[in-house]
C-alpha cells in the first residue's frame, strides 16, 4: 500500500465526501478492505487530487456520470452531499441534473432529482423551488 | 411557458397516466418545478400528442424502453398503469414485456414482469395467468 | 436439437427478417453455430411464434429495445428491415423511434433515425419527410 | 413444451440456484408462467447444460454480467448464492467482483460487493476480510 | 411550432455547436424533420437557454453524460467541438473526461479521449500532452 | 508516479495484452499520458497483479463485463487477444461469450462473437466450429 497516495486520498475524501465517504469505506472493511483502499488511493488520491478542474466542476461531472448510468442512487446520495460540501448551491445542482434531460431522457433525471430532494431535506437546505427559467 | 403546449400536455398526461402522472409532477414542485413543466410540455404536449401511432403502441414502446434501460421501476409503475388506462389488457402488457427477452436477457424482463404483477394486484385486475404459448 | 422448434423458428425468421436474418445465422456458422440455432429456436421458434401481439407491435417493441440499449446498430438494421417486411410504414417506424426521446434522450434516437434513413434508402422506400406534428 | 429440455433445465436450476431459483419460477406462476418455463428450458436446459466451461467459471461470468448492467440486485442475490453452491469461495467471489473495477468503475462494483456482503451474512459464511493484495 | 422557442434555440445551437449542430439538423430533414425541431426547441431553446450554470459547466456535463452511456461517438464529436467553442481548453476537456474513470471505468473513457484526440487534430488545436498530475 | 506499481503493471500488461495493450498506451501519449499511466498502474499494477483468481478466470470476467456494457469493441479486441495469450482456447472464449445470452440478450453477444471471429482470423487460430452442445 502506498502510504502517501492513501493519505492524500483520505484527506481529499474527507474534504469532499465527509462522513458519507467514510461510511462507504467502513462498510467495506469486513468484506473487501482493499476495495476501500482503491477508492481512497485511486479515486481520491490520484483522480480528485489532480489540478486542472476545480472541485465544483468535478462534482457536476460526477453527478452527470452517476445519474446517466442509473441504479447508482447510493453513490448519488454521497456525491450530492459532496456537491454541497464543495460549495455548489442546491439551485446549481438541480440545474446540472436538469441539463441531462436531452441526453438521458426524463426517467434517469427524475430519479436523480428526487434523490437530491431527499439529500437537501436531510441537510435542511432549501431546494431551488422557484424556477430560473428565462 | 407556452400555455397551449402545457394545457395540451396536461390533458394528455391526465388521459394517459392519470393520478400517477399527476403525483410525479407534484413531487417536483418544491425541488424542480420546471422539470415538471418540461414533462408536461415536451413529453406529453409535443410527443404523446403527435399522430401516426395509437396510444396502445406508444405504451408498448414506452414499456420496452423503460425496461431495457433498467433502474426505472418508478417510471415503469406509472406507465404500466398508463398501459391499462389506454386499453391494453394485462395479457398484452405481459406479452410485450416477454417479447424483450431475446434483446435484453432475462433479468431486466423479470424486474419488469414483477413490477407489472404489483401494478395489476393494486389495480385488482387479473394477470394473464394461463399461458398463450402456441 | 429440437427439429420442430428449429423449423418453426426458421420459418418465422424468414417471414420477418428475411435475407438479413439468414445472413446473421450464416455469419455464425464457423464460429458459434449453436448461437445461430438458439436465435432460430428461442428468439423465433419460441418468442416470435407466440400469439397475443401482432408482428407490427413486436417490431415496434424490438426497435425500442435495441435503440435504448445503444451500440446495436447492426441488429437495428436487420429489424428496421423486418419492420418494413411485416407492414409497418416508414412513417410509423420513424414515429416509434421518435416516441423514445423522452425516455432515452436525443442521442440514442438520432442514431436510430439515421440507421433507419440508411435502411429506407437501400430499400428505395420514401421516408416520412413531411411532419405529422399536430 | 419440451419435457426433456424442461427436466434437464430444472435439474440444473436446482443444482446451481437451489431454493433461490425455485422462488423466482414460483413468483412468475400467476403472472407469466411461460417466462418461468423459458428460464428453465433456455437458460438452464440449453445454456447451463452445455459443456466447455465449468460451473465456477460460468458463475463468475454471470456475476460480472449482472453487476455490469446494474439494477439487477435481485438476480445478483440469486447468483451469488449459486456461486457459493457450485463451490466458489467468498474470497474468489469478491475477487471476481473487484476485478471489474477497471471496466465498470467503482459504483457498480460497490453495489455488487455490498449485495455479496448481505448474501454471505445470510448464509453465515465468513467474507474474505483480510486482503489478498500482494 | 413555437417560432420564439425555435429561434432562441437555433441561435443557441449556432453559438454552441456551430456547423456540427447545423449538419445534425440538416441530416434529419428528409427522414424526421420534427426531430430536428425538437432538438432546436427543447434541447437548445429550453434547456441550454436556461440560466444558473455557465456554458462551460454545461458542456462538461454533456460530455460526461454522453461518454457514460457509450455508443454516442457522433454526438460526442459534436459536443467536444462545442466545448472548444464555448472556451474550454483541450486540457480542461481531457481532465473532465479522465475524471470519469472511477465512475465509468477505463473503456468508456478511452473511447472518449480518442474521440477528443481526433477532434483536436481536425481543429488543429494542441492536446494537453504534458500531464497536470500533481 | 509510483515506479514500482508502474513497472509491475507494465510487466503484467505485456504478459497479458502484449502488443495490443502497448498500442493503447502509446495512442494516449500526446493526448492523455496520465490516463495511460493509470491503466498501467491501477488496472494492471493493482488489479491484475492480485492473487486469488487465475488469469484465465480474469479474462473471462473481463470479456463478460466488456460485452455486457456494449460499445467497447476496441477494448474487446484487445482482451480477446489477451484471452488467447493467457491460454484460453477459442472454444472456451466462445463458450464464455455465449453464456451471457440469458443475461444480456442476443445483440450484445452477437457483437462479441463477431469481434472474436475477426480476432481469431487475424491470429490464424481456428474457431470452435463444431458445437459442444450436449
Give the torsion sign (CA, D54, F21, F44, F10): positive
For residues C99 and C81, what is the distance between their CA atoms, to the nearest angstrom? 19
Q: Identify the closest residue of chain A to E63 by CA–CA distance.
A: A61
Query: Do A46 and A74 belong together in one domain?
Result: no
pLDDT at A6: 97
Query: Do E91 and E103 belong together in one domain?
Result: yes
What is the average pLDDT value for chain A, to the nearest integer?
Answer: 94
Please tell me the total number of residues recorded for chain F in this structure: 134
pLDDT at E115: 98
For residues B4 and E53, what is the distance between their CA atoms, to the nearest angstrom? 28
pLDDT at A1: 56
> Mutate which of A63, A80, A99, A106 to disrupt the B interface (most B C-beta within 10 Å)?
A106
For residues A26 and D110, what is the distance between their CA atoms, to the nearest angstrom? 12
Given a cut of 50, the residues of chain D with pLDDT beneath it are 130-131, 134
Q: How far is D122 from chain F (nearest CA, A)?
A: 23
The H-or-E segment that residue E62 falls in is helix E55-69
What is the average pLDDT value for chain F, to the nearest integer?
Answer: 94
Give the torsion sign (CA, E127, E131, F3, F6): negative
Query: Do E81 and E134 belong together in one domain?
Result: yes
Instruction: Please list every residue in chain F whose beta carbon sits closer than 8 Å to the beta carbon of residue B106.
Output: 102-103
Q: How far is D79 from chain B (nearest CA, A)?
A: 11
Contact call for residues D97 and D67 (beta carbons, < 8 A): yes
Contact call for residues A60 and E60 (beta carbons, < 8 A): yes
Give the chains touching B; criterion: ≥3 Cβ pairs < 8 Å: A, C, D, E, F
How many CA atoms within 13 Å lie on the side-chain side of F18?
A: 10
What is the average pLDDT value for chain E, to the nearest integer?
Answer: 94
For residues D127 and D91, what is the distance between their CA atoms, to the nearest angstrom? 7
Query: Do A87 and A127 belong together in one domain?
Result: yes
The residue-averaged pLDDT of E107-134 equals 86
B102 and F105 within 8 Å at the Cβ level: the answer is yes
H helices of F28-72, in order, are 33-38, 55-69
For residues E17 and E58, what is the distance between their CA atoms, to the nearest angstrom? 12
Instruction: Please list every residue in chain C whose beta carbon sits closer than 8 Å to the beta carbon of residue F106.
Output: 35, 38-39, 43, 75
Structure letter (DSSP) for residue F47: I
Angle at alpha carbon of residue E76, lines to E73 and E81, rounded to 5°: 135
pLDDT at B133: 55
F106 and B104 within 8 Å at the Cβ level: the answer is no
Q: Which of F101, F103, F107 sits opposite B107 (nearest CB)?
A: F103
For C31-72, the three-class secondary structure string (H helix, E strand, C coil) is CCHHHHHHHHHHHHHHHHCCCCCCHHHHHHHHHHHHHHHCCC
Q: Which of A31, A39, A71 sits opposite D106 (nearest CB)?
A: A39
Given a cut of 70, the residues of chain A with pLDDT beneath it are 1-2, 129-134
Residue C97 is part of a domain; what is its CATH number? 1.20.1290.10
Q: Which of C28, C31, C69 sits opposite F70 (nearest CB)?
A: C69
Instruction: Please list every residue in chain A whose beta carbon sits closer than 8 Å to the beta carbon of residue F2.
Output: 2, 5
Instruction: Please list every residue in chain D whose beta carbon sits closer than 8 Å to the beta carbon of residue F57.
Output: 57, 60, 96
pTM of the model: 0.95
Instruction: Please list every residue in chain F whose beta carbon sits closer than 8 Å to the beta carbon of residue D57.
Output: 57, 60, 96
In terms of residue numbers, what domain contains E28? 1-50
Query: Do C44 and C64 belong together in one domain?
Result: no
Give the chains touching E; criterion: ≥3 Cβ pairs < 8 Å: A, B, C, D, F
Instruction: Please list every residue in chain B whose beta carbon sits closer than 8 Å to the beta carbon of residue D27.
Output: 114, 117
Q: Which of F47, F58, F92 sits opposite D101 (nearest CB)?
A: F47
A124 lies within 8 A of chain E by CB: no
A66 lies within 8 A of chain D by CB: yes
Query: Do F84 and F110 belong together in one domain?
Result: yes
Give the chains touching F; criterion: ≥3 Cβ pairs < 8 Å: A, B, C, D, E
Query: Number of Cβ pairs closer than 8 Å across B and C?
Result: 105
Q: Residue E34 contacts by C-beta under 8 Å, 6 or more apart in sequence? A: B50, C98, C131, C132, C133
Q: Which of B31, B66, B70 sits opposite A127 (nearest CB)?
A: B31
What are the C-alpha distances in Å from A82 to residues A93, C117, F38? 11, 44, 24
Please tell me the total number of residues recorded for chain B in this structure: 134
Instruction: Please list every residue in chain C whose beta carbon sits closer than 8 Å to the beta carbon of residue D34.
Output: 50
ipTM over cut 0.90 = yes
Q: Which three cell numbers stand for residue F57?
A: 478466470
The residue-averaged pLDDT of F10-25 equals 96
Give the chains touching A; criterion: ≥3 Cβ pairs < 8 Å: B, C, D, E, F
pLDDT at C33: 97
C120 lies within 8 A of chain E by CB: yes
Q: How many domains does chain C have?
A: 2
Instruction: Please list every residue in chain B whose beta carbon sits closer than 8 Å to the beta carbon of residue D74.
Output: 110-111
In the structure, what pLDDT confidence band is assigned to residue C131 with cuts at 50, 70 and 90? Answer: very low
Q: Which three cell numbers stand for residue E98?
A: 479522465
pLDDT at B131: 45
Query: E residues 5-64 near F, CB within 8 Å?
Result: none
Query: Do F78 and F13 belong together in one domain?
Result: no
Q: Which of C101, C107, C130 sits opposite E75 (nearest CB)?
A: C107
pLDDT at B127: 78
User: How many other C-beta atoms are found inside a 10 Å radius of the C-beta of residue C13?
Assistant: 22
A14-40 pLDDT per residue, tens:
999 999 999 999 999 999 999 999 999
Instruction: Please list every residue in chain F whose beta carbon sits closer than 8 Å to the beta carbon of residue A34.
Output: 50
F100 and D68 within 8 Å at the Cβ level: the answer is no
Instruction: Please list every residue in chain C whose beta carbon sits closer than 8 Å to the beta carbon of residue F109.
Output: 35
Q: Which of A103, A106, A107 sits opposite C106 (nearest CB)?
A: A103
Question: How far from chain centre, in Å, is Cα B97?
Answer: 12
Query: Do E105 and E117 belong together in one domain?
Result: yes
Q: Look at residues C131, C119, C121, C129 and name the one whose alpha carbon lies nearest to residue C18.
A: C119
pLDDT at F3: 79
Give chain E's count of helices (H) and strands (E): 8, 0
Q: Look at residues C104, C87, C94, C83 and name the one whose alpha carbon lies nearest to residue C129.
A: C94
Give the torsion sign (CA, E128, E133, E134, F2): negative
D58-79 pLDDT per residue, tens:
999 999 999 999 999 999 999 9
What is the average pLDDT value for chain B, to the nearest integer?
Answer: 94
Q: Which of B49, B60, B66 sits opposite C134 (nearest CB)?
A: B49
Residue C66 pLDDT > 80 = yes
Contact call for residues C47 and B101 (beta carbons, < 8 A): yes
Q: Which of F69, F91, F102 sits opposite D47 (nearest CB)?
A: F102
Over pLDDT 90: what percentage of chain D?
91
Query: Do B6 and B18 belong together in one domain?
Result: yes
C106 and E38 within 8 Å at the Cβ level: the answer is yes
Angle at alpha carbon of residue D18, lines to C44 and B112, rounded to 5°: 45
> Mutate which of A37, A59, A65, A97 to disrupt the E interface (most E C-beta within 10 Å)?
A65
Instruction: Please list every residue in chain C whose beta carbon sits closer than 8 Å to the beta carbon of residue A70.
Output: none
What are the C-alpha distances in Å from A44 to residues A15, A50, A55, B28, E63? 10, 9, 12, 33, 21
pLDDT at E119: 98
Instruction: Please list every residue in chain A whose beta carbon sits closer than 8 Å to the beta carbon of residue E133.
Output: 50
A65 and E92 within 8 Å at the Cβ level: the answer is no
C105 and A101 within 8 Å at the Cβ level: the answer is yes
H helices of D17-85, in order, are 19-27, 33-38, 55-69, 73-85
B99 lies within 8 A of chain F by CB: no
Q: Residue A69 contacts by C-beta under 8 Å, 6 or more apart in sequence? A: D70, D107, D108, E68, E69, E103, E104
Residue B25 pLDDT > 50 = yes
- Residue tagged 453464456 (cell numbers): F99
Please tell me the total number of residues recorded for chain D in this structure: 134
B75 lies within 8 A of chain D by CB: no
The residue-averaged pLDDT of B64-71 equals 98
Last residue of a domain, one of E11, E26, E50: E50
Last residue of a domain, one of C31, C50, C69: C50
Query: Do E45 and E57 belong together in one domain?
Result: no
In the structure, what pLDDT confidence band is assigned to residue F128 with cuts at 50, 70 and 90? Answer: confident
Q: Which three cell numbers stand for residue E59?
A: 458542456
Q: Identify the closest residue of chain D to F49 by CA–CA distance.
A: D134
Instruction: Please list every residue in chain D whose beta carbon sits closer than 8 Å to the beta carbon of residue B114.
Output: 27, 31
Q: Hey, is F134 helix, strand or coil?
A: coil
Pairs from E76-79 (Cβ < 8 Å, separation ≥ 24): E76/E112, E76/E115, E77/E20, E77/E115, E77/E118, E77/E119, E78/E17, E78/E20, E78/E21, E78/E24, E79/E17
Query: Do D9 and D41 belong together in one domain?
Result: yes
Residue B104 pLDDT > 80 = yes
The residue-averaged pLDDT of F102-121 equals 98
Question: How far from chain centre, in Å, is Cα D101?
Answer: 19
Q: How far is F63 from chain D (nearest CA, A)?
A: 8
Give the torsion sign (CA, A131, A132, B4, B10): negative
Q: Residue E15 contacts by C-beta under 8 Å, 6 or more apart in sequence? A: E85
Query: Do C79 and C19 belong together in one domain?
Result: no
pLDDT at A126: 83
Amino acid at each position: 500500500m502506498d502510504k502517501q497516495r492513501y493519505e492524500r486520498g483520505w484527506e481529499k475524501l474527507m474534504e469532499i465526501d465527509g462522513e458519507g465517504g467514510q461510511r462507504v469505506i467502513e462498510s467495506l472493511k469486513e468484506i473487501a478492505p482493499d476495495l476501500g483502499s482503491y477508492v481512497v488511493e485511486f479515486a481520491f488520491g490520484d483522480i480528485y487530487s489532480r489540478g486542472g478542474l476545480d472541485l465544483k466542476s468535478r462534482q457536476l461531472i460526477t453527478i452527470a456520470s452517476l445519474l446517466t448510468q442509473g441504479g447508482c442512487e447510493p453513490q448519488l446520495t454521497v456525491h450530492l452531499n459532496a456537491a454541497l460540501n464543495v460549495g455548489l448551491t442546491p439551485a446549481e445542482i438541480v440545474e446540472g441534473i436538469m441539463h441531462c434531460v436531452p441526453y438521458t431522457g426524463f426517467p434517469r433525471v427524475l430519479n436523480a432529482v428526487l434523490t437530491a430532494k431527499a439529500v437537501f431535506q436531510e441537510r435542511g437546505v432549501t431546494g431551488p423551488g422557484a424556477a430560473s427559467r428565462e
